[in-house]
Structure 1
Amino acid sequence: MTCMFQTSDKLLSHMAAKCLALLLYFQLKEKITLSNSWISFCQKNLSEYSESDKVVYCLWMLTFVIKEIFKDTCSQKTEILKQFLTPFDTIFEVFYNSLFSQHFENHQDTSKLINSLICFLELLELLIASRIHLKLHFTCQRILFLKPSCVFDVITWPIQAFVKRKFIIFIKKCLLCKVGEDLSRGSVPTFMAPDHPLDVDLLALADAVLQAVDLGLLRTLSVYGKPSCFGGDEVQPGCECVPGPDHVILRAASLLIIRSLEIKFQNGASANEMKVDLQRFMSELLTFLKPHLQPSLQSHNLCEWLSRVFIEQDDDMLEAAKTAMGIYLKLTRECEATESLTQEKEMWNHHTHENGYNPHCIFLFLLKNIGFDSTVLLDFLISSETCFLEYFVRYLKLLQKDWDNFFTICKYFDITESKDNINICCCISSLVQDRSSNQTEPSPLAVLGNHRDAHAWVSWASEASSEPLNHVVMSEEAQATLQANSLSPPRTSQSLVDYETSDDSEEESTGQRLANSRLTSLHQEAMKKIQDTVGTSRDKKELSLESQSRSLVSKESNTPFSVDCDIGPNNIASKVGISHRTVKCFEELQGAIYRLQKKNLFPYNPTALLKLLKHIETIYNRSMTPL
């Protein structure tokens, strides 16, 4: 079969390699000694890189066999893999050095080098995955961590963008310990046992990432690429194609940097070193991201970068949020041990926002993106596809200790949001005034729908200390405008489970509790038309979820929508703000979890989580009670 690898018939060569790989896997399972001639064949072809097709087929067969071992459900797969890797432990390192020492520009036919790079990258991922998940310890499994600069050199080559993208994603998965997750048929443990040698290797890789960023790694990444097209890779004639950034690269590069910083900080860096490194590398990252975010990221609101970059990828977004919180907690503990945070609170707040890692801002932007919809949080909690449970529990614990800071941040969210809404109203007013000349009347909802939130942060220290946290009072005009405009209709989401049933008597009381969250009559009329149209094609379960979302809207609102931003004489200013909506979202989530638990439908014991949510509600009620 190995003689067929050099035939001109590529299909025959591939079938020969596949048959030989299946034979090798069968021999391993049946404890039959592997052929010495095949071992010698692989060792000879991998002893140094060559453009022969034999190299690619050797890599492909090795990868195929390891994949099959991973997918096997037998209890002896660790021993089987150990037997398979033993003859190749040293040869992999030799091939690693030979392959990555190539000069890409010197190759006339670069396709074979690219094929070898892609095949070896897949094999390298399997080797690292076997170390993490199967607890094997071979030298070949540590090649990347021992010599990471070789991999970063490939990113600087004048090579196709998709190759660089694969290498960036591969390094990201290594830093997050997510390599090989899609191979094992069994459940992957969420929490792994401590592995000190692996921690040392991850630190070496993190240092290599930060060093590469210092040397200009982000400037070598190809962020713009051809858009993906369904059914092909070319845009049809006559169709406009607006080039945009590759968000996969943006997300991967962002996670590379913040995860590397977290790993470095966890391994004994001092508070001053952490502050310097954080400021340097986050500045580099934000400078890299700003040109690719539309509308552009405002310099006074840098904490929004995370939700803007990761909005389309839930698992990466929550990994980034958890990592940013880990950095915040580590730096806070170190600073508390060496200096008084209370004396430098203004400087500390400025540092967290300037470098875009304040956990309260990050969480509030997450809630705003999901429309403060508790059903989305519930879906995250009962799904095993993200790390939301770990992130959420850590955040709730932080929120208990840092409530005053959270409340202050909520106040500035409210103030800046009301300012933005006043600007929107003025914009709508000018459009209506132009109606007489243009004979067209733009829809206020269309203007509101196309407006992106531009929350402008004001001075974080001076105004925060000017009034008590438990008596947040805004002007009557700002409050009424906030009431009319800022409470946007919550997005109706389809939950993974339908936890609202007809025998639940709590739904009615929930609607009464949320009666203070009111929309204007114009919002209600437009949303009713949309929901009536969409509702004809939904089944009863979806309609019940939709009605739950609409319970946030009071049908008794008498406040007219005024394009001139006038406040009606009968309007009573409301103190509904971001903190209120956040706590109400927690209350809805708490009720949903309780109902699921009561029916034995929740996938794990949520008692501790319910206690945390209840405690946050108690803290909020206490802070809103006048002294």
Structure 2
Amino acid sequence: MEHTVSCRASSTRRESFDCLTEVYTCFLKGSCPSQRAADVACVIFSGVCGLVPGEDRESTPSDDFRDTSVVLTCISVTLVDRIVSSLTSRSLSPAVTLYCVDILTVLFQDMDLMSQLIQQFQAEDQIISHLAAKSVSVCVFYQLLKSRPVSPVWQQKCVQVFYSSAPGPELDSCVWSLTEVLKRLLKGAHQEILGNLLAAFDSSLSALCSTFLPEERREVTQCLVDVASSRLWGATFCLLLDLLEVLTASSLICGAGICLKSQRITHSHSSALLTIISCSSEYFVKKRALLLLKRAVLQKVGEDWALGEVLDTGLKYKHFSADMSMLAQSVLTAVATNWLQSVQVESASFFGGTRHIRAEEGQKPDCVVLRAVSLLLLKSMELHIQTAGGTGVDRVTEVCGYLQSLWGFLRQCSIQLTEVPHCCCWVSLLFGEQDDDLMEAAKALFSIFLHHRLCSGLDDVALLKAACASGCNPHCHFLLLLQSISFDHSILLDFLISTETCFLEYFVRYLKYLRADWQGFTAACGRTSLPDRRLSLQQSPTASCGGDMSKGTFKGQDQGKFSSCVQPIGAISPVAAGFHLVEYDSSDESDPEKMEVSQDESGASVCEALDVKQEISGAPVSIRQKQYESEESASTGLLSEPNSTPERRPEGPSLPVLQSEQTSSPNMAPLSGQVTCDILSRAVLCMSQLREVVTRLQTKKLFPYNPSSLLKLLAQLENCSSQSLSK
């Protein structure tokens, strides 16, 4: 008798598996299954509920029944996801589309499948819980696109769970599901639907975030203690941070259309997020919160998944400026109260996990965290300077104090700056692998410098000396950039065309300042040029910080001079012949776009007219993903050993050790004609070549926007150079 029941149960399970397998296979082939739509819907519904048709649960071995139920549930939920996704993408033939619509009609209207899927949110099996959330999200998105109201069952369940805020699988599933729906709406630019959905969840989301991110520091600490008792609280926090990023991105996309409290949580609760970074016991939670704040201050939330043209609408919601100012002030207040001292920086991780570090290798800090902390502080200072009024020595002291706190933090993290007298070079070293972050840091430091220039009342010589002491001399940063690309103008052209960085805005603002302070640039070039000594770059296993940071040593040089002929490995690599972002001689025509640059010398103003958003044919290519080979050693005598040969840079990021060696001055080959390898000459030649190639591309109508103002600046700089040489 028992054998008969077991055989019947096995047969029933086999029939369910066969039915679901055939349906799935037919959908992959684009054909209709042989079963009726109503019969398929019954099998799917039974599988989602964890029931096998015709099977007596009490007479079936519990382990076998549980295993069968889990597998059938996973298959059934996945099949629902597949059906709805195919309908959303309109990838099915008319006959198959009608068949799928019939299945969904039976499942959601006659059987109320949505309620059954939502019940699986609290399943102990995390796979089932996640698959259910994924399927529900797809179904809700499909219904919204069909101009149907949001599922009341889903909305009520999420609102209820958000108000209760009890950590667990149900909360995780609700947070993930809402995040996924919002993300899909953002990608599709469905702004009206997005606004209505956000309004429906605004109060509950505010309550949820107020629970996990209270305003008072003591309450945040207690919250961390309370949620830490949950086994998976770290995952819950990370899901909440993902939701915050989507909400913040929605505020940029919706622009002036809507302005809800939930969309401003990242800014309004920034102090709590900073406390999470300093007090959380889970390092990955600290890191995720830090990266969220970094993207928020850079206005790049959602850049990993949102469409760039959607995020760059240019419209700002009502309280945008106030929110950005609040975020910047929270960061600066925290830094003033020694927040940096509490930021944890662990050893760098690897794709294979962590590895044991030998004693002689030294510390290898997580440079993603170091860059995020540095950019968060630098951009907060820039925002504070732009929004806060007042001038004078007190403001200069305040700004310099923040910079000194940053350098002290970097020294604490095993970045030995004590033997490197010039702080400016560490900008290139720290952001070497990330060209977009490098440009953001350079732009922020340039704004800080201009503020220093405006408030300090120092003369030009004293101003640049003080700027070098604080690490924000723009001439040094620009020279380091040119040296890192071996003075190759074609890489500058890549940056001017690329939409991945803010190089265009930074470059034009710097050129305007350079036009007014050519003597300062000349002096910086003279201090950098070393006719009888030069610096060699060597890898140091004792100083590599996770392949991305290094201890710097600087010997044998006058401590009062800036001798930073540095070529940061991994920054913007030297160029190999003919390997660039685009093939300039064969580029298709791009629609020209106006780029008006004010010729008024207003150093403290942001060049807002340079907010150029151009479209270039083909997918964008990340410059930092390229690997360039070194130029011939004869033209890089200041940067390499006499007998060194060009080698391709290692795949992993790393930074150099600065090491001065007493050598005889080699005979260096000229770059072009009479031009010597002097730093000033190479810099001027680089910009001259850039002007020539941009002019040629403009003549052929191959440049993606109107570069007339840029060309004027470059021409004026050539005149400054000629006048300087004639004196």
User: TM-score band, normalised by the shorter chain?
Assistant: 0.7 to 0.9
The alignment yields a C-alpha RMSD, in angstroms, of 3.7
Select 2:374's aligned residue among 224, 242, 254. 254
**Residues 252 and 316, structure 2, Cα contact 8 Å, conserved in 1:** no
Q: Alpha-carbon deviations, 1:113-136, whole Å to 9, x = none? A: 111111111111111111112213
1:283 to 379, 387, 404: 404
Q: Please give the alpha-carbon distance, in whole angstroms, between the structure 2 residues aligned to 1:519 and 1:88.
A: 60
The question of 1:326 aligning with 2:447 is answered yes
Q: CA deviation at 1:25?
A: 1.0
**Partners of 2:290 and 2:369 within 8 A in 1:** yes
1:104 Cα deviation after fit: 2.9
Change (3 A) 1:47 1:451: closer
* CA distance in 1 between partners of 2:712 and 2:440 (Å): 24
Indicate the residue corresponding to 1:39 in structure 2. Answer: 155
Question: C-alpha distance in 2, partners of 1:390/1:518?
Answer: 30
Aligned to 1:171: 293
Q: Distance in 2 between matches of 1:124 and 1:297?
A: 39
Q: Which residue of 2 aligns with 1:565?
A: 664
Q: 1:63·1:123 contact (CA, 8 Å) conserved in 2?
A: yes
Name the CA shift for 1:194/1:93 in 2 (closer, same or farther; >3 Å): closer
For 1:607, the aligned partner's letter is S
Asked if structure 1 preserves the Cα contact closer than 8 Å seen for 2:175 and 2:240, the reply is: yes
Q: CA, structure 1 residues 289+295, in 2 after alignment: closer, same or farther (shift >3 Å)?
A: closer
1:387 to 493, 502, 508: 502
User: Is 2:298 the partner of 1:197?
Assistant: no
- CA pair 41-525 structure 1, distance change in 2 beyond 3 A: closer
- 1:454-465 correspondence to structure 2 within 5 Å: none
Give a deviation string over 1:225-256, Cα, whole Å, max 9, x none.
24313xx2154999997641111111111111
Cα distance change, pair 155–530 in 1 and its aligned pair in 2 (3 A): closer
Give the whole-Å Cα distance in 2 for the aligned partners of 1:452 and 1:325: 26
Is 1:155–2:271 an aligned residue pair?
A: no
Q: Distance in 2 between matches of 1:199 and 1:247?
A: 30
Shift of 1:491: 4.6
Where 1:302 maps in the other structure, the secondary structure is: coil
Deviations 1:329-359 (A, max 9, x none): 2333445xxx4x44xx444233211111111
Deviation at 1:46, TM superposition (A): 0.7
Deviates more, 1:146-155 or 1:161-170: 146-155
1:391/1:455 CA distance change after superposition, 3 Å = farther
8 Å CA contact 1:127, 1:140 repeated in 2: yes
Distance in 2 between the 1:149 and 1:94 partners? 17
Distance of aligned partners of 1:37 and 1:145 in 2 relative to their CA distance in 1, 3 Å threshold = same
Shift of the alpha carbon at 1:492? 2.7
Q: 1:4 aligns with which of 91, 96, 120?
A: 120
Which residue in the other structure is 2:609 paired with? none
Can you list the C-alpha shifts for 1:525-571, whole angstroms capped at 9, x where unaligned? 957x758xx9xxxxxxxxxxxxxxxxxxxxxxxxxxx9973899xx9
- Paired AA for residue 56 in structure 1: D
**Candidates 663, 681, 686, aligned match of 1:585:** 686
Provide the C-alpha distance between the structure 2 equivalents of 1:119 and 1:383, rounded to a whole number of angstroms: 32
1:115 is matched with 235
Give, in whole Å, the separation in 1 of the partners of 2:411 and 2:373: 13
Secondary structure of the 1:600 match is coil
CA contact (8 A) 2:486 2:574 kept: yes
CA gap of 1:53–1:294, structure 2 versus 1, over 3 A, is closer
Partner of 2:177: 61
Structure 1 contact 206–260 (Cα < 8 Å) conserved: yes
After superposition, residues 357-368 of structure 1 pair within 5 angstroms as: 357-368=472-483
| Cα distance change on mapping 1:105 and 1:57 into 2, 3 Å | same
Distance 1:455 1:183 in 2: 49
Contact 2:415 2:552 in 1 (8 A): no
What's the offset of the Cα at 1:94?
A: 1.0
Residue number in structure 1 paired with 2:576: 492
Note the C-alpha offset of 1:192. Answer: 2.7
Counting only pairs closer than 5 Å after superposition, residues 127-526 of structure 1 correspond to structure 2 as 127-135=247-255, 136-185=258-307, 187-188=309-310, 192-193=314-315, 197-229=319-351, 232-235=352-355, 243-272=363-392, 273-292=394-413, 296=417, 298=419, 300-335=421-456, 339=457, 341-342=458-459, 345-414=460-529, 417-418=530-531, 420-421=533-534, 491-492=575-576, 494-499=579-584
Query: Is the aligned partner of 1:86 residue 2:199?
Result: yes
Residues 363-418 of structure 1: per-residue CA shift (max 9 Å, x gap)? 1111111211112211111111111111111111111111111112222112xx34
**Partner letter of residue 140 of structure 1?**
S
- In 1: Cα distance, 2:636 partner to 2:372 partner: 39
Give the alignment partner of residue 594 of structure 1, picking from 675, 678, 695.
695
Contact 2:202 2:260 in 1 (8 A): yes
- In structure 2, do the counterparts of structure 1 residues 381 and 111 end up closer, same or farther at CA, with 3 Å as the change threshold? farther
The one-letter amino acid of 2:304's match is D
Number of paired residues?
Answer: 516
After superposition, the Cα gap between the structure-2 partners of 1:382 and 1:268, relative to the gap in structure 1 and judged at 3 Å, is same
Is the CA contact (8 Å cut-off) linking 1:499 and 1:595 kept in structure 2?
Answer: no
Residues 241 and 5 (structure 1), Cα distance of their counterparts in 2 relative to 1, 3 Å cut: farther
Q: Distance in 2 between matches of 1:347 and 1:525?
A: 37
Q: TM-score, normalised by structure 2?
A: 0.64
- Partner of 2:138, secondary structure, is helix
Q: Does the 8 Å contact 1:70/1:183 carry over to 2? A: no
Specify which of 86, 99, 123 is matched with residue 212 of structure 2: 99
Shift of residue 600 of structure 1?
Answer: 3.1
Given residue 381 of structure 2, which amino acid in structure 1 is its aligned partner? L
Query: Cα gap change, 1:302/1:141 in structure 2, threshold over 3 Å: closer, same or farther?
Result: same
Question: Secondary structure of 2:164's partner?
Answer: coil
Q: 1:103, CA displacement in angstroms?
A: 3.5
Is the 2:205–2:262 Cα contact (8 Å) retained in structure 1?
A: yes
- 1:598-613 aligned at under 5 Å gives the runs 598-613=699-714
The 1:203–1:455 alpha-carbon spacing in structure 2 relative to 1, beyond 3 Å, is: farther
TM-aligned CA deviation for residue 91 of structure 1: 1.2
Distance 2:552 2:436 in 1: 27
| Equivalent-residue separation in structure 2 for 1:451 and 1:215 (angstroms) | 29
Name the CA distance, whole Å, in 2 between partners of 1:190 and 1:304.
32
Q: Distance in 2 between matches of 1:491 and 1:392?
A: 20
- CA deviation string 1:118-176 (max 9, x = no partner): 11111111111111122131011122322322111211224222211111111011111
Please state how far the C-alpha of 1:519 moved relative to its aligned partner.
7.1
Displacement of 1:584 in angstroms is 0.6
* Contact map agreement 2:252 2:311 (CA 8 A) in 1: no
TM-score (norm 1): 0.74
Say if 1:301 and 1:457, in contact at 8 Å, map to a contact too.
Answer: no
Going from structure 1 to structure 2, the CA distance change for 1:412 and 1:50 (only over 3 Å counts) comes to same
What is the one-letter code of the residue matched to 1:330?
H
Local SS of the residue matching 1:46: helix
Q: Give the Cα separation in 2 of the matches to 1:48 and 1:221.
A: 31
Distance verdict in 2 for CA 1:413–1:581, change over 3 Å: same
User: Is the CA contact 1:300–1:457 (under 8 Å) kept in the aligned structure 2?
Assistant: no
Gapped regions of structure 1 (runs ≥ 5) = 425-449, 465-477, 479-488, 502-514, 535-561
| Map of 2:53 onto structure 1 | none
Judge which range, 355-364 or 266-275, deviates more.
Answer: 266-275
**Contact 1:304-1:362 within 8 A present in 2 as well:** yes
